[in-house]
Amino acid sequence: MAETDVQQVFAILNLNLDDYFAPEVVGFFLAQWPEGQFVATDLTGRVVGALCGARLDGGRASVSLLAVDSGSRGMGAGSALLDQFRRACVMSGIGMMQLEVRTSNAKGIEFYRKRGFTISERLPNFYNDGGDGYRMVCVLSGISPFSEGCRRRWSQRPRWRRRGSRSSCRRPTLRPLGPRRPRARCCSGRRRRSRRP
């Protein structure tokens, strides 16, 4: 997003989101984190969608505003904006994205859910008109070597059985770079004699 896009972004946000935003709001986002602001344009260069992001403490970032013009929806602009933002977060070392969405915005909630976000809490009276919101989060880091199913099975085990290695996990095995060493043979390396004469 460039300074020259601010007026068009301001118009898109106010036409497509329920709350009113002053033009300074977009300028504020651009000033605080230029790499976290994106626009989607059509072939003529007209802005048809925008995403304003904010850096939060604790290695988090927020999708603060996201809207696509009603005539340009369903063509991938919203997904592309979110993808670009996700990439910017990863490049900036952000570990978690979060956002707030009206509980009544079923399409918006589904849009985010399909793109990796989950509802973390309900926010009563979150909006200016008293409307409730959901906070949705998407974790970008903390990749676990254990699959979710495996983690569940592990925690369901009785405590006395939790010792030892989680052998059922498909844990990646690490080895130093270079050619593989030949496997150690059993039976002290001696080959079995053939019984045939």
**H or E stretch covering 149:** helix 148-156
When asked if residue 103 is in the footprint of ligand COA (CB under 6 A), the reply is no
CB of 77 to ligand COA, least distance (A): 4
Number of residues that bind ligand COA (CB under 6 A): 17
Among positions 128-147, residues that touch ligand COA (CB under 6 A) are none
The binder of ligand COA chosen from 6, 39, 47, 67 (CB under 6 A): 67
What's the CA gap between 59 and 113, in Å, rounded?
21
Coil, helix or strand at residue 43: coil
For 44-74, give one letter per residue: b (16+ CB within 10 A) or e. eeebbbbbbbbeeeeebbbbbbbbbbeebbe
State the Cα angle at 32 between 31 and 33, rounded to 5°: 95
Q: Which stretch binds ligand COA (CB under 6 A): 31-39, 76-84, 129-137, 176-184?
A: 76-84
The binder of ligand COA chosen from 78, 94, 97, 133 (CB under 6 A): 78
When asked if residue 74 is in the footprint of ligand COA (CB under 6 A), the reply is yes
What's the CA gap between 68 and 65, in Å, rounded?
10
What's the CA gap between 67 and 73, in Å, rounded?
9
When asked if residue 71 is in the footprint of ligand COA (CB under 6 A), the reply is no
The binder of ligand COA chosen from 77, 88, 89, 138 (CB under 6 A): 77
> What is the per-residue binding string for ligand COA in 1-20, x denoting contact by CB under 6 A?
---------------xx---
